[in-house]
Amino acid sequence: MTAPTSVPADPHSPAANPRRRVGRPAAAVLDQNGITAAALQLIGKSGYDGFTMAALARTLNVAPSALYNHVSSKQDVLVLVQDHLTSFVDVSAFETGPWEQAVRDWAWSYRDVFSKHTPLIPVIAVLPVTDAPKTLAMYEAVSAGFSRAGFPQERIIPAIVALESFIFGSAYDVTAPADIFDSGSMAASTPHFTAAVERLAEDSQEKAADVAFSLGLEALLAGLGTLRVA
C-alpha cells in the first residue's frame, strides 16, 4: 500500500516496466541503486580515503559530473550507502526471541557492520530518519520489540538512543590500534593506569574491544531491563 518512494500515482501511467520511466528517454546508465552498489564496492576495495566522486564515476564508466544528475552531493551518496548498510543489521530476534537476547544480537551486528564504516557514523548519528527508509525500518522493528517487552512508551526512544550511542562509540573502538594504551615513557607517572593496562594484556584471549563491548552491553542490558513493567 505505502510505496517507499513518495511518487504520486500517475493515472496516465501505462502498465509500465518499472525499469523505464514513461515518456522519457530510456537507457539511463545510472541510477541511485547502481550508484549505491558501486560506492559500496569502491569503499570495500579502496577504503574511504579512496572514495572520491571521480573514482566512483570511473568504476561506473561515466564522467564525474554525470553523478550529479542522480545525487546532489557526495554527502548524499554517503547517506545512500549508510541506509543500505543498515539493512544488514540483524533485527530478526526482536520478532521471535526474548528481549534481552534480541538486543544482544542486534547490538553486536550493528556494531560489526559499522566498525568497518566508521566514517559514516557522523552521518548516521545526525541524519533525519526521513532520509533513510531502511534505517527507519530498523527503528520500527526495534521499537516494536521494546514495546512488546513491556517498556513504557516514553522510555523506548531514550533507551534505543542510549544503546545506539554506545554502539557507535564502540564501533570506533574496534578500529583502534592494539597498542593504543601503551603509555611508553610516561608509564612511571601513571602507575594505576599502566598497571591496569598490563593486567588487561595478560588475560584475555579476546580482543580488547570485544571485552569492553561485552562488558558495557551487559551492563546496559541489566540496567535498562529494570524499566520493563509488563
Partner DNA sequence: ACCACTAAATGAATGCCGTTCATTTAGAAT
Partner DNA sequence: ATTCTAAATGAACGGCATTCATTTAGTGGT
**Residues in 35-64 that interact with DNA by CB under 7 A:** 51-55, 57, 61-64
x-marked contacts with DNA along 66-105 as a string, rule CB under 7 A? x-xxx-xxxx------------------------------
What is d(CA 159, CA 175) in angstroms, rounded to the nearest whole number? 25
What is d(CA 158, CA 165) in angstroms, rounded to the nearest whole number? 10
The distance of closest approach from Cβ of residue 30 to a copy of itself in the complex, given in angstroms and rounded to an integer, is: 26
Per CB under 7 A, 19 contacts DNA: no
- Partner in contact with 75, chosen from a copy of itself, DNA, none, beta carbon below 5 to 8 Å by kind: DNA
- Partner in contact with 35, chosen from DNA, a copy of itself, none, beta carbon below 5 to 8 Å by kind: none
Task: Count the alpha carbons within 13 Å of 156 in the hemisphere toward its beta carbon.
Answer: 18
Cα R_g (the chain), whole angstroms: 22
- Partner in contact with 97, chosen from DNA, a copy of itself, none, beta carbon below 5 to 8 Å by kind: none
The distance of closest approach from Cβ of residue 127 to DNA in the complex, given in angstroms and rounded to an integer, is: 16
Per CB under 7 A, 24 contacts DNA: yes
- Partner in contact with 178, chosen from a copy of itself, DNA, none, beta carbon below 5 to 8 Å by kind: none
What is d(CA 78, CA 74) in angstroms, rounded to the nearest whole number? 6
Binding site for DNA (CB under 7 A): 20-30, 51-55, 57, 61-66, 68-70, 72-75
